[in-house]
Structures are given as C-alpha cells and as structure tokens.
Chains A and B, each alone.
Chain A
Amino acid sequence: MKPAGIMRRWNFTDYLYLAPSLILFICFIAYPILFVLYGSAFKWSTLANMSFVGFGNYETLSRDPVFWKTMLNTVYWMIITIFVQMIIGGAIAYAVEEHTTRLRAMFRTVFFLPVVTSVVVIAIVWNNMYAPYHGIIGYWLKQLGAVGQFNWLGDSSSAIFAVIAVNIWEWTGFSMLMYIAGLHDISPEIKEAAKIDGASGWRGIRHIYIPLLSSVHKSLILLGVIGSLQTFALVYSMTGGGPNHASEMPGTYIFRQGFVVQQMGYASAISVAVLALALILTVLQVLFLGSGNFFSERKRTA
C-alpha cells in the first residue's frame, strides 16, 4: 500500500469500518496465540489448577517419539499432497480449459465435488472402500491379479499414506480451480503467439504455461503448508491417529493430549510448536519464492 500524497488527519469513523475485523482478530486469533504461549508454561487440566513448569513441557516434547512421528508425518503429508495435487489439478485444468469446448462446467464440477463434501462423510466412505475383505479397493486389486488382502489403514507402514491418498482425492479439485483462474489470466495473444512459434504441446506447457502460472504454484504451496499443519478431521475419523500413532498428525495429537488425557499444558506446547513451524515455513517461503502469491498486487499478463 503506497502512502497517499498528502497526509490526512486521523478519522474516527473511518476506523469504524475496520473495527469488526480487528476486534475478531484480537479476541479469537491474537489473544488465543498469547494464551497458548502462556499455557504451555504450566501443567494443567483446567484454569483453576495450573502449576508453573517453565520449559518443562518443551523438554518432554523434545524427547517424545510420538511428537517427532507427527512431524515426520507432516513432512510426508506436505510433500506428497502439495505436489501431487498441483500436478493432477494443473493437468486437469489445462485439459479442461485449453482442450475442450463442451462439458467444461461438468468437468469442473465433478472434480470439485469432493472439496464440498463433508470430511467425515469422505472418511467413512473411504474406510469402507479400504476395508479388507469387503472393501472395493482390495476387490479390484485382486481382480487385477494382486494376491491376498491388505489392511491399508490397519497397517502401520501404510496408514498415513492411505489417508494422504484420500486427502489428495479430496483437494485436487481446489488446485484445479486455482489453475483455471490462473489460465484465464494468461492472455490469448500469448497463447496464440506461442502456437505460431511452434511452442505447442509439451514445449508450450514447459515454456509458457508453467512459468506464467508461477503465482498459482506459490499460492498452492502456501495453502498446502498451512492445510497440512491443520489436518485433523480426515485423520481423526479415518484412523484416529493409529495404529499405535503411525498416522498421528499434530492436530490429532493436540486433541489426544488436550481433550482425551487432559494434559492442556502439554497440548499447548504442541500447539506452539505448530505455530512456530507455520511461521518458519511461511518466512522461508517468502524469502525463497518471494511473496508473489496472495500478498502481491494482481498482475495481468497482458
């Protein structure tokens, strides 16, 4: 935002327009962040019986193998979901927008339906599809020649990846929509010029489309990082973080520590770790990829 040429005076009524947003921000975002920082220095289950432990919770956290498991799972989650969604979503957007004339609305809608469907519904449906013996996934794999039954969600080596696959199915439509918006910002002249220059097909994708969609890539990475850190519903309702913490994510671990075993102080410390990670990853991204995403002014490639 550039400063106005002339400094004008402070105006109370003008601030009133900002009041609702700022009040909500202070009460439900800023204050909770401060509170969770404060709460992480105590051992407590209710506000009435807090005992100060300093950095005690963080010391326990640093030696907690389950916490490190959630970090590893978060890394898997981020890397796999973000890139697979970008590739499939981008490919669908490209196919629909650049190579079809009819049925566009239908394709756009079909791939977006999982995004609008309730996560818990998705979880129950996929749980049944994954189920050994009666699940349709195992059945089809068997038809294709696979031997034996495999318990995708019940096996600790596959559980997290089985959930990640569902997450990709759920959110690819969102990536598609962002790429569709991005494709509409590339002017037809550029596309035409590229075709005339012989940069069609794969070469066109590599040299024209991928670079010109860079702000979409960045937005999706940013949203994907935050989305991974706030994963909860899918894991909670598909595996509950199990078996034996194999698919535990920070969200499910916070829930378990805070609301199941009532270790609010410890859960607060995990929350602070998640906040710190979100902050670090955002800063790193702005440093290395630039802020050419949400935060920049909209540029039309004209």
Chain B
Amino acid sequence: MKHRQFFWRKNWFWYVILFALAAVWIIPLVYMVSMSFRDTEQAFDPNLFAGPLTWKNYELVIKQNPLPRYFFNSLVVTIVSVLIVTLGASMAAFGLTRPGVRGKSLIYNLLLSSLMVPITALVIPLAQINSRLEWQNTYWGLIFPYAALGIPFGLVVIKGFMDNFPKELEEAATMDGCGSLRFFLAIVLPVLRPGLVVVVIWQFLTSWNEFFLALIVMTDKTMKTLPLVPMQYQGFYFSQPGALFAILVLLTVPTIVFYVLVQRNFIRGLLSGAVKG
C-alpha cells in the first residue's frame, strides 16, 4: 500500500478535490447507463444503482429501429464535411502566404468574421437555399453549410501553425523548381499535421453533433442524422424509459470511444500551438 500511493503524498488535497468533482461530473452519464439496464418497474427508482440489470432494452431497440441507417447518414455528412473543412482551411492558410495574393488581411478578416455569426441567424436563409436547390433531405444540404461554418475555425488553427513555417524552406523549394501545388502537398501539409489533427477532430465532433440545421433540413425519416433520433423516440418509448436510455447509450458510445481514442493527439495538437491561448 505504501508504495502504490506515492503520487498522492504531496498533492493529496488536489486529488481529493479533483476526484470529487470528477465523480459529480460523471453522474449524468452513469445515470444514463444505469437507466438503460433497468426493467420498467425499476425505471423510476431514484437510486443510482437500482438493480436487477437486464439487456432486454438493448435487444428491443436494436430489433425495432433502423439505427445503422441513421449512423450511416451521420457518417456521410460528417466525413465529407470534415474533408472539405480540413482541405479548404489548409489551402486557404497556404494561399494567405503566397506572394501572388493581394488583400491578404482583407480576405483573412472576412473569413474570420464568420466566426462571429451565430448559426441561429442563418437557418431561415439556409433553409430557403436548400429548398430552392432541392437540397432538402439530401446530404449536401448539411455538408456545405457545415463546411462553410467550420472553415473559419479551421483556418485560425492552421494559420497558427503556418505562421511558424520556416520561410527558408519555401525559398529553397522554389529554387529547386518545386511548383506551388507540389510544395503544398509534399512539404506544407505534412508539417501542418498536428494542426490538421485538431481541425479534423473538432470538426468531426461539431458535424456529428449538429442539431439545429439537421432538424430543419432532414425531415424525411430515412435521412435523419443521429442527433435527431432521440427526440423521435421520446414519445415512442414514453412508457419504456429503459429502452429510450438504451438508445441514448448506443448514440453516445461511438462518440466517447472516438474521443478517448483520439484525445491524446487532440491534446498534443492543442498544446503544440493550435489555439491562440
């Protein structure tokens, strides 16, 4: 025992506080998981760990619902918008260093200004654009707005890395007759990697969880993305809270697994200078 607790000694006070706070923080998620394993009779037991546990809810919701379909919709929208944001933002960050571009600060500030635009104020016109282009209930109806709204943040992050890019490297490459496209793909992109990781992860989470625009664009049941799914079942499983919570858990597990897998790279990217702190 003595040995295993050595890291406690100096900072026990901070560990106690952090553990207590972390325990409070995790309660809603524990509660969600606990509810999903309960029978209907135990569902309203306020005890956090009410038993007995059952897998029945999971069997029920998996049998009854086209969850893979919603998962697929979310995946398409997310992956394509992440690709556009990452590529678009890194191209723009590179473009802003090119000697042939005039009005750099005007362009940069213009793009940056969209960080200040609340998406709530754009849903009316975006819905009109979608209905005129007949993008209602299509993937494009979400992909393009997500990409447009995501690029400014991506640009800020990537430009932070671009600014530290050694000028000599570019001059050397130009002398060697390296075209700008080859220079961008072969030299710039690999150097920007820690920044790209942050942009990919952040945009992934943003697109995956976006709700407002999805609610307006995806009205057709087969086109819904995952964030829209729980609302639809809230009434349906009203008398079976366990089943509703099983759906919530099934929706949450992939994002948590995703984040736990990438968090090391995400944090490393952040700490290496991705965000102006």
Contact = CB atoms under 8 A, between A and B. Distances in A.
B17 to A, nearest CB: 6
Contacts of A12: 100
A78 interface: no
A119 B89 CA distance: 26
B48 A181 contact: no
Given A17-B92, A279-B116, A294-B156, A29 B124 contact: no
A267 B11 contact: no
A32 B123 CA distance: 9
Interface string B237-250: 00001001100100
Interface centre among A47, A100, A178 (most CB of B within 10 A): A100
B111 interface: yes
B255 interface: yes
Interface string B97-112: 0111110110110111
Interface range, B side: 35 or more
Interface range, A side: 35 or more
Interface stretch (A52-60, A109-117, A150-158, A203-211): A109-117
Given A29-B149, A120-B230, A271-B120, A1 B28 contact: no
A27 to B, nearest CB: 7
A92 interface: yes
Nearest to A249: B120
Interface in B177-196: 180, 184
B271 A25 contact: no
A29 B132 contact: no
A92 B21 contact: yes
Given A22-B107, A25-B151, A95 B259 contact: no
Interface of A: 1, 4, 8-18, 20-22, 24-25, 27-29, 31-33, 35-36, 39, 47, 92, 95-96, 99-103, 105-122, 124-126, 128-129, 133-136, 138-140, 169, 177-182, 184-185, 213, 215-216, 219, 226, 229-233, 236-237, 250-251, 254-255, 258-259, 264, 267-268, 271-272, 274-275, 278-279, 282, 293-298
27 contacts: A14-B100, A16-B95, A21-B151, A25-B110, A27-B144, A27-B148, A92-B21, A101-B11, A109-B263, A110-B26, A116-B255, A116-B258, A120-B211, A125-B32, A129-B31, A179-B277, A181-B271, A181-B275, A219-B276, A230-B121, A232-B211, A255-B215, A259-B216, A274-B118, A274-B121, A275-B121, A279-B116
